[in-house]
Amino acid sequence: MKNLTLKIHGQVQGVNFRFGVKQKADELGLVGWVRNDKGGCVSVVVEGEEDKLDELKEYCNEGPRLSMVEDMKEKGFFIKRLSFNKFEIKY
């Protein structure tokens, strides 16, 4: 298991971005969370198999239909196990 932190910038709030990320993470069997941050960006902390994390990164780089991702910052893969048991949207 590895984990990954993403910060996604652009038109990513108010366009169902968090819900799309949750749906994709659930589909891939990943655990962690997604939330809107101040300044209009979205943060994702996720844990799972590296190939599944790569798939989620691809999704986040595109986002749902109404979003427009301008930049995505990544904090690499870590082997440290986090304590998530599901993927959730933080409010």
The CATH-assigned architecture of domain 2-90 is 2-Layer Sandwich (3.30)
Q: DSSP code of 81?
A: -
Reported confidence tier of residue 80, pLDDT bands at 50, 70, 90: low
| Alpha-carbon distances, residue 75 vs 15, 62, 63, 80 (angstroms) | 24, 18, 19, 13
Residue 2 — very low, low, confident or very high, per pLDDT cuts 50/70/90? confident
Report the mean per-residue pLDDT for the chain: 93
The pTM score is 0.92
CB atoms within 10 A of CB 41: 20
pLDDT for residue 77: 66
Q: Give the chain's end-to-end CA distance (angstroms, integer).
A: 26
What confidence category does residue 83 fall into, taking pLDDT thresholds of 50, 70 and 90?
Answer: confident
- Catalytic residue, chosen from 3, 16, 18, 85, is 18
Mark whether 18 is an active-site residue. Answer: yes
pLDDT of residue 63 exceeding 70:
yes
Assess whether 35 carries a catalytic annotation. Answer: no
Q: Where are the domains of the chain?
A: 2-90
Cα 68 from Cα 35, distance rounded (Å): 17
The length of the chain, given as a count of residues:
91
Given the residues 3, 16, 35, 36, select the one marked as catalytic: 36
